[in-house]
Amino acid sequence: MGYIEGENRYQTRLLCLDDYVDKKSTARIIDRFIEGLDMEELGFKRAVPNEKGRSPYDPACLAKLIVYGYENGTRSSRKLEELTHVNVEVMWLMEELKPDFKTIADFRKDNPEPLTQLLSEYNAFAEYCGMFGKERVAIDGAKIKASNNKKNNYTKKKLQRNIEYNERRIFEYMSALAESDDMDEACGLKEKLDNCEKRLEKTKGQLAVLDSSGENEMSTVDPDARLMGNNRSGVDVAYNMQVSVDEKAHLVAAFDITQTPTDHGQLSNMTEKTQEVFRKKEIMALADKGYYSGEDIEKSEELGAVPIVARQLKPGEKERSRFSIDKFVYDKDKDEYICPEGNIFTSRSNNRKKDRTFFNKAACRDCPARGECLGKTKYRRIVRKPLNDALDRAALRYAKNEEIYKLRQQIVEHVFGTVKRTMGGGYFLLRTKEKVKAEAALLLLGYNLKRTKNYLGFEKTMEMLEEWQSFLWARGSLSAMFFFLISFCCCPLGAAKPA
């Protein structure tokens, strides 16, 4: 019995390029989606070619290549150039155009805002398809490495250490130079001394810049990147990518790129961005304990949202403990706390606009649960801040919606898993916050493309794209006709036409 034999590679065939591309390829969705966009309206450079000079590539064509690359985990401009020569889907998508890597890189570098806008355009299509439930979202963040090595990130402490080290080495070289009688050795020492003095001068200049900026650190390659803790118990120079994911089809509704290493303060920010996308205020926002902040929770409530946030434990506090702070019930009318043993804690201050301490020394002294509750302290103290009312409301909502909160991981966590692992998006290639934001939008657009195809199916997605773009065309035609009629009615017969 012989082997399974392939086709003769030199056999001439009467096939077109389209026959080599799978009928349900995501490349067909990308092609149809971008073909329906107005590249000039989105702000892409060279959307209207110049009358003179060399003809440029169509920005729609380059946008298709970029989106395809990000969706399939190929982001390097050199690798994207290679795809135009070896990948049949890309050849089909590009109509066999083969731009070089510099053209691809410049297109991505010169169009950060329009490329960011592609995600908003796609989400408008997803909304038209009814893929956003607009009822419940999960918010989370992840650290994505920046294009900046840790060696090229400096804090004041690190710069000061470098200055002290260089000053010490200069002193050592000068001492050795004064004692040296060998001409060759002296030349070598002089060269080292000059290099050390240059490094010292450069370091002092960096420290002066850092002092004048008011920042705590600086990155010399990507100036907007910051040191952040990672999930490997270390630190990276990175950005914090925040996402808001809708529960219905698990599509990313909104995102942001921040320079803060923690998620504190991002709950209201992401809630507001999501409300803008949904054009709706009444949404439920699920977030983990990293977002636990009275000020942020209160601001989210003022925006009209319902935040469900897990409580953040204090240092040394045991989860599910019978004497954890959430087991001490505050009576707002009587302005007092009731401990799990039934003792009443009061405060000596009545000014509720300041931090107040509640305690009961006598009750703690004679309490049978003293050993379990107090530890090494003599009596239990509870500090109530002005924003504790918001935290109390959050604790009550969490207790009532604990089963709903468990859905948070199912909704949002796999977004980062897909982006980092499947799409190779664990690091950014571009530099500065504006361009990094464009790259994040492309990664999330690629993720939403995958989700749409899985949720609707290929045929339904293509059908809805045709319908959506017909809807946009009809709406644009009606708008143009409306403005024409308005201008016609406002300009009587015989009147001078506007210039």
Q: How many domains does the chain have?
A: 3
For the record, the structure tokens of 344 come out as: 């009443």
pLDDT in tens, 308-340: 999 876 655 555 578 888 788 888 888 899 999
The pLDDT assigned to 234 comes to 84
Please check whether residue 51 lies inside any domain of the structure: no
pLDDT in tens, 439-488: 999 999 999 999 999 999 999 999 999 999 888 888 765 555 544 455 55
SS3 content of the chain, % helix, strand, coil (to 5): 50, 15, 35
Please check whether residue 29 lies inside any domain of the structure: no
Amino acid at 178: A
Residue for token pair 């909704």: 411
- The answer for 96, left when phi > 0, alpha when psi is -120 to 50, beta otherwise, is left
Same domain, 385 and 419: no
**What DSSP state is assigned to residue 326?**
G
Please check whether residue 470 lies inside any domain of the structure: no
Which residues make Cβ contacts (< 8 Å) with residue 413, sequence separation at least 6?
140
Q: Which domain holds residue 136?
A: 132-145+235-312+407-423
Q: What is the value of pTM for the model shown?
A: 0.87
The pLDDT assigned to 67 comes to 98
Among the residue ranges 142-151, 297-306, 318-327, the one predicted with the least confidence is 318-327
CA-to-CA distance for 280 and 259, rounded, in angstroms? Answer: 28
Same domain, 308 and 368: no
Same domain, 139 and 265: yes
Q: Pairing mode, if any, of strands 235-246 and 136-145?
A: antiparallel
Among the residue ranges 115-119, 315-319, 378-382, the one predicted with the least confidence is 315-319
Task: State the CATH number of the domain containing residue 293.
Answer: 3.30.420.10
Same domain, 215 and 242: no
Please check whether residue 141 lies inside any domain of the structure: yes
Q: How much of the chain exceeds pLDDT 90, in percent?
A: 67
Q: Quick one: pLDDT band at residue 135, thresholds 50, 70, 90?
A: very high
Mean pLDDT, residues 143-158 taken together: 94
CA-to-CA distance for 207 and 213, rounded, in angstroms? Answer: 10
Could you tell me which of 59, 57, 67 has the C-alpha nearest to residue 29?
67
The pLDDT assigned to 316 comes to 54
Q: Quick one: pLDDT band at residue 169, thresholds 50, 70, 90?
A: very high
Q: Return mean pLDDT, the chain.
A: 89
Same domain, 136 and 281: yes
pLDDT in tens, 70-99: 999 999 999 999 999 999 999 999 999 999
Please check whether residue 195 lies inside any domain of the structure: yes
The pLDDT assigned to 484 comes to 47
Please check whether residue 49 lies inside any domain of the structure: no
For the record, the structure tokens of 249 come out as: 């089809």
Same domain, 280 and 141: yes
Same domain, 200 and 347: no
Please check whether residue 411 lies inside any domain of the structure: yes
Torsion (CA) 89, 95, 101, 105 in degrees, nearest 10: -90
CA-to-CA distance for 210 and 124, rounded, in angstroms? Answer: 42
pLDDT in tens, 242-286: 999 999 999 999 999 999 999 999 999 999 999 999 999 999 999
Q: Quick one: pLDDT band at residue 375, thresholds 50, 70, 90?
A: confident
Is a pLDDT exceeding 80 seen at residue 137?
yes
Is a pLDDT exceeding 90 seen at residue 24?
yes
Same domain, 178 and 285: no
Same domain, 274 and 411: yes
Is a pLDDT exceeding 70 seen at residue 66?
yes
Could you tell me which of 249, 255, 271 has the C-alpha nearest to residue 127?
249
For the record, the structure tokens of 225 come out as: 């990147």
Task: State the CATH number of the domain containing residue 215.
Answer: 1.10.287
Which of 357, 372, 402 is the last residue before a domain boundary? 402
Residue for token pair 């810049």: 209
For the record, the structure tokens of 287 come out as: 């977030």
Residue 210 and residue 159 in contact, taking contact as beta carbons nearer than 8 Å:
yes
Q: Outline where 214-265 has alpha helix (H).
A: none
Mean pLDDT, residues 168-182 taken together: 85
Same domain, 308 and 414: yes
Please check whether residue 336 lies inside any domain of the structure: yes
Q: What CA–CA distances, in Å, run from 104 to 161, 362, 402?
A: 42, 74, 48
